[in-house]
Structure formats: structure tokens, C-alpha cells
Amino acid sequence: MIALMTTQRSFAYVVLAIVVIGGAFVVFAQMRKGRAELGSEIELAPNRKEYLPDEELEGPKLNKALWAAFALLAIVAVSLPMYWLAEPGRQHGAVEHYQELFTHRGETMYVTGAQCVSCHGTKAVGGTASFVVTDENGQYVSTVNWTAPSLNTLMYRFSVAEVKDILTYGRPGTPMPAWGVAGGGPNTDQQLKTVIDYLWSIQLTPEEMRAQVDNAIKSVDEGLHDRMLAVREANAEVVDPVSDEFERLDRADELWIGEILFNLDDAAAGGNAFSCARCHVPGASFGQPWSPVGEIAKGALGPNLVGIEDRLTENQHFLLVTNGTETGKQYGSVGLGSGRMPGFGVNANNGLTGDIRKFGTSGMLSPEQVWSIVTYERNLSKERAIVAATNENEGED
């Protein structure tokens, strides 16, 4: 499109040059003619001069005029459709140009303006932020390194509107500040939009993202990884993952994959973007998971999931983790969504006008991975009970 725009522009320059040079030439010719005329009226006034004979007028003269008219008509007939054809391209080019401009401005804000880079890392691969944890009374508890999730898969788990909400209000009680004016931050909506444009431009492709999650499992156990891929392959044709047709992994494998993904906190594997613990386990974001809340203060956005099997059926659970929640919409039979629980099984922006990169329908986790996490979470009460009992036996608390 840029190439087309430049050809159009150079074409316009050529036409302009022809018009200017031609105009100058006409003026010059007229001036010369005018000078030659001097004194001629004394011999014979121009209006008395004998004009061309009829044969000349109705013959070559008329033909010349008609041909000239035809040539002008041809120019209009060709150039109008050409303009009409090129117009959508030009508009598209203009949109792309502004997209690039915003992306660039967003990058400037990401790197220097708001310094998101200092916590979320270069190209938003994830990082950490030093943070002082305080208790309910504002008393110092400890200074910790809080994981800032990678944002290069952000658009798969949060819709544009949800991202804007996070940026505007930040995450109170965590190192993530509020950036929007409405949340008490310094930036206008337009500035936030440019940052979001920048984030769009650095999203991983669906294949890169899938590989990132799969490799996190592979790095723990290759056999587990291969069994997972085999089940994925076997389900390739199954449309509805919540049906009997869907083939599941062994329970032991599901528990294991679920545990890996639930707790994942490894910058190399996408920060802790895939981790559920960072939002559901107080302390998980700074390496002190499951400690009693009183000891480490808060620091987790979502509810405690121990005992979730009593609140959601297995299918409700699967659908919730797949789709996430929406503001004000009920989930399961009693939950009320805030839009802050991301959907991990579907692309949050697919089909919306905001999805400018058209990244498709895939979410961050494939169905057998979501089932695995669901199984793991529904087993948390047992696991916590075992941990608690062990601690008691060891005389710790």
C-alpha cells in the first residue's frame, strides 16, 4: 500500500510539473504573439481579416476539435475509475500509516514514558518488581520481588476492553500502578490506546504461544508432553470438548500437567502469564505460596480455589476456565463475574473489531490442558489437607 501511495504521489507531481511548465509556455507564447501584433491593426483589423474557408472549418478544423474532445474524455474516463479503484487502497494505507504511528508512540510510552519495560521487560517478555508488602493495618511485612507477567500473550487472554480496564485502574495491592486518569493515573484514554496498539504489535503468533506452554511441560517431563500431544491429536476432530467423545488423559497425567500449569512461574516460559496461582494463591507472585494470609498480607486477585468442586460442576468449571468471566455476568450457578478472570481456552479478541491482527480462535491453553487444570484444582482440598497434616506432624504451622 505504501508503494501504491508513492506511485500515486509521484504521478501527481508529474501532472503538476506538466501543468506548471505548460502554463508558463502558454503565457510566454501569448506574450510573444501579442508583441508581433503591434501595428497590424493599421493594415487590417483582426475582426476584418478573412477567416478560414468552409472546407477547412468543417473538415480538418472540426476533426481536430473532435479528436481533442475525445482525448480529454478518454483521460477522464480512464482516470476516474483508476482513482476509484485506488481509493480503498489509499484509505487502507492511511489507516496502516496511523496504526504504525500509534504503535510507535505506544512503544515510546512503554519504554520511556510509563516505563512499563522496567517491570514487564523488553518486548514484554515478563519481569519482576520490587514491592513492600504491608498487612491490613499498613504495617511493614516484608520487601519482595513480585513477578510481572509477560504481556506478549495478553491479547489472547483479555479483551481490549478488559486490558483497558487493567491499565486504567492498575492492580491495587500489587506493584501494578493505575495508569488512567479515571484510576488516578497520569494518562489519557488516547495514550492508553497507543500502549495497547504497541502491545498488539508484539503479541506472539498462535503457534509460538502454543509452543511456549507445551515446552513448559516438556521441560519437566518429555513423556508427559508426548502423551499430551497424542491426546490432542486424538481429539483433533472433536468439536465439543465437553462431550463424551472427547478423549481425556489419565487422571495422574492430568493432575501433573495441571500442577505444572497452575503454578508455573518461570520467566523463560512466558513469565507467569499462564499461571493460575498468581491470581488465586496469595503470595504465589512473590515466591511464598499458600502461606497463611495474615503472615504475608494479601496480593492475589481471585478467590481461593480450595473447595471449588463444591461450587462448580466439572463442566461449569471447564467452561469458566475456557471462557473467563464477563462484567456483571453470572457464571456457574452462583458466581458473579467481574471480567477479571481471563479466558484461557479461547482468544478473548477473536471476532471483535479490536482483533486487528486476526489471531484466530485459539486461546492460551488447549482443551486437554484446561481439563488437566480443572482436575488439579478439584483436587486441591485433598492436597492442602495432606500438606496441613504433614506440617502438623512436623510440629510446624
| Per-residue mark of binding to ligand HEC, 204-243 (x: CB under 6 A) | ----------------------------------------
Q: Which is nearer to ligand HEC, 8 or 108 (CB)?
A: 108
Taking the complex as a whole, how short is the minimal distance between the CB of residue 127 and ligand HEC, in angstroms?
Answer: 8
When asked if residue 359 is in the footprint of ligand HEC (CB under 6 A), the reply is no
Among 202, 341, 346, 380, binds ligand HEC (CB under 6 A): 341
Residues 266-325 that bind ligand HEC (CB under 6 A): 273, 276, 278-280, 285, 301-303, 305, 308, 311, 317, 320-321, 325
- Choose the binding region for ligand HEC from 4-12, 75-83, 212-220, 334-342 (rule: CB under 6 A): 334-342
105-110: long-range pairs with CB below 8 Å, 24+: 105/194, 105/197, 105/198, 106/193, 106/194, 106/195, 106/196, 106/197, 106/198, 106/199, 106/201, 107/198, 107/201, 109/187, 109/191, 109/194, 109/195, 109/198, 110/195, 110/198, 110/199
Taking the complex as a whole, how short is the minimal distance between the CB of residue 13 and ligand HEC, in angstroms?
Answer: 42
AA letter at 68: A
Taking the complex as a whole, how short is the minimal distance between the CB of residue 315 and ligand HEC, in angstroms?
Answer: 12
Among 93, 121, 133, 148, binds ligand HEC (CB under 6 A): 148
Give how many residues touch ligand HEC by CB under 6 A. Answer: 46
The owner of cell 510507535 is 104
Among 282, 233, 254, 223, which Cα is nearest to 373's? 254
Q: Are 117 and 111 in contact (CB under 8 A)?
A: yes
Q: Are 363 and 344 in contact (CB under 8 A)?
A: yes
Q: Are 293 and 243 in contact (CB under 8 A)?
A: no
Residues 9-68 that bind ligand HEC (CB under 6 A): none
Taking the complex as a whole, how short is the minimal distance between the CB of residue 345 and ligand HEC, in angstroms?
Answer: 9
The owner of cell 502491545 is 199
Q: How far apart are CA 336 and CA 11, in angstroms?
A: 60
Among 270, 282, 283, 342, binds ligand HEC (CB under 6 A): 342
Burial category of 273 from C-beta neighbours within 10 Å (exposed 0-12, middle 13-18, buried 19 and up): buried
Q: Which is nearer to ligand HEC, 112 or 393 (CB)?
A: 112
Tally of CB atoms within 10 A around 395? 6
Taking the complex as a whole, how short is the minimal distance between the CB of residue 393 and ligand HEC, in angstroms?
Answer: 30
Taking the complex as a whole, how short is the minimal distance between the CB of residue 299 and ligand HEC, in angstroms?
Answer: 7
Torsion angle of C-alpha atoms 23, 27, 28, 32, degrees rounded to 10: 150
When asked if residue 378 is in the footprint of ligand HEC (CB under 6 A), the reply is no
Q: Which residues contact 131 (CB under 8 A, 6 or more apart)?
A: 143, 144, 145, 146, 174, 175, 286
- Choose the binding region for ligand HEC from 6-14, 143-151, 247-255, 349-357 (rule: CB under 6 A): 143-151
Q: How far apart are CA 15 and CA 19, in angstroms?
A: 6
Q: Which residues contact 162 (CB under 8 A, 6 or more apart)?
A: 339, 340, 342, 348
Q: How far apart are CA 21 and CA 66, in angstroms?
A: 25
Taking the complex as a whole, how short is the minimal distance between the CB of residue 304 and ligand HEC, in angstroms?
Answer: 8
When asked if residue 171 is in the footprint of ligand HEC (CB under 6 A), the reply is yes
Taking the complex as a whole, how short is the minimal distance between the CB of residue 366 and ligand HEC, in angstroms?
Answer: 12
Taking the complex as a whole, how short is the minimal distance between the CB of residue 262 and ligand HEC, in angstroms?
Answer: 6
Taking the complex as a whole, how short is the minimal distance between the CB of residue 75 and ligand HEC, in angstroms?
Answer: 52
CA 137, chain centre distance (Å): 39
| Per-residue mark of binding to ligand HEC, 108-127 (x: CB under 6 A) | ------xxx-xxx-------
Q: Which is nearer to ligand HEC, 93 or 376 (CB)?
A: 376
Q: Are 242 and 236 in contact (CB under 8 A)?
A: no
Binding site for ligand HEC (CB under 6 A): 114-116, 118-120, 129, 146, 148-149, 151, 154, 163, 166-167, 171, 174-176, 179, 195, 273, 276, 278-280, 285, 301-303, 305, 308, 311, 317, 320-321, 325, 335, 337-338, 340-342, 344, 373, 377
